[in-house]
Structure 1
Amino acid sequence: MKEITGNLKQDVKDLLGESANLFTDFLKRGVCTVRAVSDKWKDFARDISTAVDTLMKPPFGKDGPEAPAMELSPDAEPVVTVVESIEEHLPIGRQMTLPQANEEIRRLDMQYQKDEWTVQPVKVKIDYTRNGQTDRYWLPLQIGAGGGLLEQMKARLDSYRTDPEMVSRLFDTIPEEHRAAFEAELTPFVNENVNELSTGLLHYFHRHCDIAALAQQFDAQASVLPEKEQQSFREGAEKTVVGLRRAVNTGVPIEQPAVQREQTPVPVQPETQEQPSAGEKLRQSVRVRLREIKETGAGQPAPVKVRVRPHRAGR
């Protein structure tokens, strides 16, 4: 009897191990966030055994190494960390804000394509605060075959959304005797998460990149103002940027932007009207962009064109 009981416990533990490995694979292939994986695995594993908490502690669990970071500020930008790479400009452990990473990966990707270097795989994890909760998203990238970080994220999610075979292949590592049951139970979960990432998280990341671009416009505008006005303008700009980030992270919209430089137009006869200066053009551009972010809030990002090229040998 002890031998039978021992074998039964081992079988259950093996099954839990298979499911934990599968969910970890979901995470690292970019089809789920850590919180989504952790919550689903708890329910799924308890259907296998009520002793799951003592038999198995997956890496994405509460105290595991892949648990979301807890120290992020509610008004912070998402933080990108390189976790797998042999590209010298993206060493393992390098950290950047999401907008910085998006531009750096786009720059490297263009360089690889221009010089026809061999495509290099890179994997990153992104820690962020959304709807007031910290979370983590893993994203595999291909430097030299896909554009910036967000372009590649969109292309990957679109592939899973349009190709059922890609979802089915996620279950290839499961032993044949359990594969059909795992696939039937978890395919709806994967599809639901891929859709949410595509329509929700990707848009959230775009908002942060929009705010970073606006912050750059504020900085450029400040540089063309009279010196006595620059400090107060920069302080107001910083408050606006922080407020926008907090609004995106918490889902609570801000009431009023801190930077407003609306000017009353002076009537001018058509024949003597002058073209606006470069500084005024920049002010107008900033006002328009700020209004768009404030009014649309969760508006859809502009369509992204993704260029995928075949791998080329040699570097």
Structure 2
Amino acid sequence: MSNRSMAKSPISLMVLLAVLLTACGARSEQSQTPTVGPVSTPAAPATVEVGGASRCEPNNLLSQLKDDIPYSQVSLLHNQLLAVRYLNLWVVYPDLNSAPAADEVEANHAQATELAARLSHLLANDHPCVRVSFEQITMTIVDSRYNAWFVGGIGMEDIPSGSDLTEDEMATLKGHVVSSAALQSPVEHPGPDVPPADACDWGMALEGLRTQFAPAGPNVDFYLVIDQDGANVWAQWEDSNPGQTSESFLPGVLALQTELQCLNPPVDVLWMVYTDGAGRVSVVMAADGEALRNPDPSYLVDHLRVIYPEPSS
């Protein structure tokens, strides 16, 4: 994405962090909208055992929760930003139409919203520690080509308890689980019609990223979201003692550059979330695709945009 396109990004931190927003205004639903099948909520033990002590540990929850989500491409992370504790879910939902006609777009949005509602209920009730550990669940639902059809969130207090949802509870839940009002239909054809010979797809790039950041804990991951502004890659990684200087997070930034330069569709914006070992956010940065693909790493470093903490004037 060009600098001009980056300038179109919303100023608000909570809007910039699309996966950390709770959107306003529910979408209207159509009676002919396809429905999402029920998602079962398995029984779970009452506590998480850590070092002989019974307590809730977010990192220990991630693997169990992720295993219970019935889709093959899933990213599940947690973090704490501005004193709010988030559980952040990204899912590829293959039943969505990745090339909908104009009259099918709203059905895609509604179907993704219903899945977001069901998955929020699954996560909130999958383990007793979830409601203790997190205050908000944010969700990004994409199709098989990584086009975004839902980006939003819900507060834990708005999610019904219990393993099953009644029709009334589901209707109420969908009223609370709302997508960003800024989310529009994804761009139709991101990237060139004929990719360069050295191009890589998301699967190849993701494998390279996970290799670069290995060994990594469960709260490190990467995912692709294509929206109306183009291709966005989100990266979250951690350090047990993170700093807010370039020396502390620069190795991770350069590793991201190494693996994402070949990606097709080309990255328009790279969003980076750098946390400590407990998920507390230390730095949030963004870089546009031109800087990411520049062969000089110093050019990327010079063009990093620090979003959080807000730079002092």
> Do both share a fold (TM > 0.5)?
no
State the TM-score, normalizing by the size of structure 2: 0.25
Tell me which structure has the larger Cα radius of gyration.
1
State the TM-score, normalizing by the size of structure 1: 0.25
Structure with greater proportional helix content: 1
Structure with greater proportional strand content: 2
